[in-house]
Each structure stands twice: as structure tokens, then as C-alpha cells.
Amino acid sequence: MSHLSKIQKRRPGHGKTIWLFSHIKTHQVLCSLSQYPEEKKMLKQLTFYGKQTQAQEIRRDLFRPFAAVYTPSPEFGMNVYQKLREYRHVRDYQWTFRPTTKEIEETVKKAIEEERMPKFDNRLPTLKERAKLLMDQKAATIADLCHILWRETESAQKAKNLERGRTKRAKKIKNAKWAQVQTMAARARAGELQKYNFWVKRRQDAIEAADSDKDKALGKKGLMMLKIKRNELLRAKEAVDFVSGRKVPLAQRLNWNQNLRAMVQSRTTRIVNPEKPPPPPEEPRAPEPDIRQQQDGYSGEDEILIQWKDMTDGYYANEWPPEVMHGNLDIKYLGNESVLNDDLEAEADLQEEAVREPKEERKGSFMGKFMDTMRAPFKMNSVKADGEEARR
């Protein structure tokens, strides 16, 4: 069982939604898989850009959610989350302040119009300016998110097509094998099975009448091949009869090989082997509430919903994939606390406490005895010494 599956047992739907938080002043971006910031995990995302640039705590009045991404599946969401973290890591440690190609073209074009030599600004930013530029991550994160969604949707579509083709080929092979079984059953009913019985009996008589050991060995080899072909026809006839609803004794069904049993069991509701019945079908689960289905443009399970605190933030990306829907993110803040965070956080803590197994107290150990002594009420013991009471 994977780590993601273990977490999903405690928190269903974990990884399906990605929350993006932005600092209201520096525009630093933090990614989270929960709608309330977890300080222990999110502090690792803050990079040191210089003096007084790395926060010591995650304050909810400073880091506020500006977008929520609802993905089709937890696996899809975890891939997007991982890529966002990787892209941020690359931008933090492989930055450059050289002029871009677009800036060079604009500078050259302007110089040609003014009939002069182009002049480029080679001045490097100061430490504070560099830290400010690197901490302004909101626009770059939205552009990265758009690029990641393009990649993931294309790869998901390719994987879906491959799985569809694989399923189609498997079904085609399965039908071809069953058609072969039906053909063999038809041959058996046409009288070929009786022919093989006659040939087997004749070969047995020939083996008994053989004089040399060499002739007997060759006869036994041919007899074995005849029996194999006869048994194939017989098993095919029995399998088709069982699927058609006719009665086939259990002793004959137990002689079928595993592949034939599975093939027959998949084509009928009757149980081939009562000793090893097929597993019962899984009970249909109640559909989980999906916020994507409430959108007007929802067309299928592959749709992705992005809710924005400010809808104009979506224009930082050039073009979004056709599977992406956009909506408004409604979250209200009161001072230093979030309206939706407190109850959810308390409920999650209670669920985790309920799942945890109670720890067994160490009995007989030094710490166990010490704790028992500390918990016990204080008692004054009196002893008699030389006829007088003395306190110990």
C-alpha cells in the first residue's frame, strides 16, 4: 500500500485539491493540500533570499489563499503539487537578471528608430532589490500552474488512450480465445471426439501388440498426443455446455485448467468451483460531493476547476487548457483568524486522535513507577519508635 493510499484512508480525497497562499506584501507563494496552512510543512517552502526575508511562522493574516485547484483525481493533484514545488525550487536557485530576448528586441528596435546604437542596462540589482524580485512569486506561480496543467492533461489523455487500447486488445484476445473454444466444441459435437476415442483405443492395442521397446515408446508418445487433443475437445465441449446452462458434473469441472475456469466464470453467473467461489462484487460507494459538478461548464470527469480570489489573476497565464474551468473563491477573514479554518482544523485533530492507537503505559519501568508515585496522593505514614510516634 502506497503512502498516498494510507493517508487517503484517514483523509478521503487527500491530494485532490491544491490551495495556493500568497503573502499580502511580498507576494510569496505557498502550496498546500489543505485549506488551512500547516506551519510545520509550509515553512520548508520559504527560501532564504537575504537578511529578514524568511518568515519564522505562517501568519494567517499575512498568507491568504488566492486560488484553489480542484483536480480530477488525487494522483493527478499530487503530480501537479509536486511539479509546482519543483518549478519553485528551480526559480529560487537558477535565477538570472540578464535581459530577455523580448527586451533585447525592443531595445534594438527603439535604437533603429532613433538612429543610434542600442544601449543595454547592465546594472545588477542590489541585495534588497534582488530579494524583492525573487519573492514576487505570484505571477510566475500562476504561469507555472498553467504550464503544468497543459503537461498533465496531455499525459493523462495519453495514458487514458493507452489504457483504453490495452483494454480493447485484452477484450479482443479474450473473445478470440472463447471463439476458439466454441469452434473446438462444435468439432466435438460433429463427431471428432468419437474419432479420437477410436484412435486412442487403436493405438493402445498397437502398443500391446508391439514386440520391441522402441516401438512401445514411440506408440506411448503418440498415444499421449492423441489424449491431449481429445481432452482439449472434451473440455471445450463441457465449457460451452456449462455456459449454455447445461449440467456438467463437478468432477469434470475440477479437471479444467485455471485459464478455462476463469474464462467460463466471466461468461456466466453460475459458480464453476464451489470450493473457490469468485469474490463478491464490490458495493457501490456513495458518490462524494464534487464542487466541479456545480459549475456551468462542467462536461466530464476530466474537468479541472480553479477558483480565484481575484479573477484577474488568471490573466497572468497566456492560455489555459480547454479542460480548465474558472470560478470565484469565497473565503472571509476576520482579523487574524479564518472563518472556515477553526472548525475544520479541530475536526481533523479529533479524527487523527481517534485513529491513533492508545499507547501502552510502561509498567514496571523506572519512569512508570515514578509517574505512579507522582500521581498517587501524598500520605503521611506514622511509625512507632521507642513508644513514641514519629513521622517519616
- pLDDT, position 279: 81
Distance CA 42, CA 75 (A): 21
pTM above 0.75, yes or no: no
pLDDT value at residue 337: 41
User: Of 243-247, 267-271, 273-277, where does mean pLDDT reach its minimum?
Assistant: 273-277
Mean pLDDT of the chain: 81
Distance CA 99, CA 123 (A): 11
* pLDDT attached to residue 358: 47
How would you class 114 by CB atoms within 10 Å of its CB: exposed for 0-12, middle for 13-18, buried for 19 or more?
Answer: exposed
Region 6-33: mean pLDDT is: 85
Comparing CA positions, the residue from 336, 369, 313 lying closest to residue 20 is 313
- 41 CB-side CA count, 13 A: 9
Provide the 10 A C-beta neighbour count for residue 391.
7
With beta carbons less than 8 A apart as the criterion, state whether 118 and 111 touch.
yes
pLDDT of residue 214: 86
- What span, in angstroms and rounded, lies between the C-alpha atoms of 320 and 315? 9
Q: 279-314: per-residue pLDDT in tens?
A: 887 777 766 777 787 777 777 888 899 999 999 999
Residue 146: predicted pLDDT:
94
What integer pLDDT is reported at residue 147 of this predicted model? Answer: 94
Place of cell 464534487: 290
Q: Which is nearest to 293 in space by CA: 301, 285, 284? A: 301
Dihedrals phi, psi of 180, to nearest 5 degrees: -65, -40
Tens digit of pLDDT for each residue in 171-217? 999 999 999 999 999 999 998 989 999 999 999 898 888 888 888 88
**Which pLDDT does position 3 carry in this prediction?**
66
Q: Nearest CA to 104 among 118, 93, 90? A: 118
The pLDDT, as a whole number, for residue 177 is 93
- Under DSSP, is residue 301 helix (H, G, I), strand (E, B) or coil? coil
Instruction: Give which of 243, 231, 249, 244 is closest to 192, Cα–Cα.
Output: 231
Please classify residue 227 by burial: count the beta carbons closer than 10 Å to its beta carbon, then call 0-12 exposed, 13-18 middle and 19+ buried.
middle
Kindly list the domain boundaries of the chain, sorted by start residue.
Answer: 3-94+136-159+298-328, 100-133, 191-269
Which residues, 6+ apart, have CB-to-CB distance to 66 below 8 Å? 20, 21, 22, 138, 308, 309, 310, 313, 329
- pLDDT tens-digit readout, 97-151: 777 777 788 888 888 888 888 877 667 778 888 888 888 999 999 999 999 999 9
The one-letter code for the residue type at 368 is G
What pLDDT is recorded for position 210?
85
**pLDDT > 90 fraction of the chain, expressed in percent and rounded:** 33
Asked if 62 contacts 21 with a C-beta cutoff of 8 angstroms, the reply is: no
How much of the chain, in percent, has pLDDT values that exceed 70?
Answer: 81
31: helix, coil or strand?
strand
| Alpha-carbon gap, residue 329 to 306, rounded angstroms | 9
- Predicted confidence at residue 321, as pLDDT, reads 92
- Residue in this structure with the C-alpha cell 497565464, named with its chain if needed: 317
pLDDT digits (tens, 9 = 90+) for 319-359: 999 999 999 988 754 333 444 444 445 555 555 555 444 44
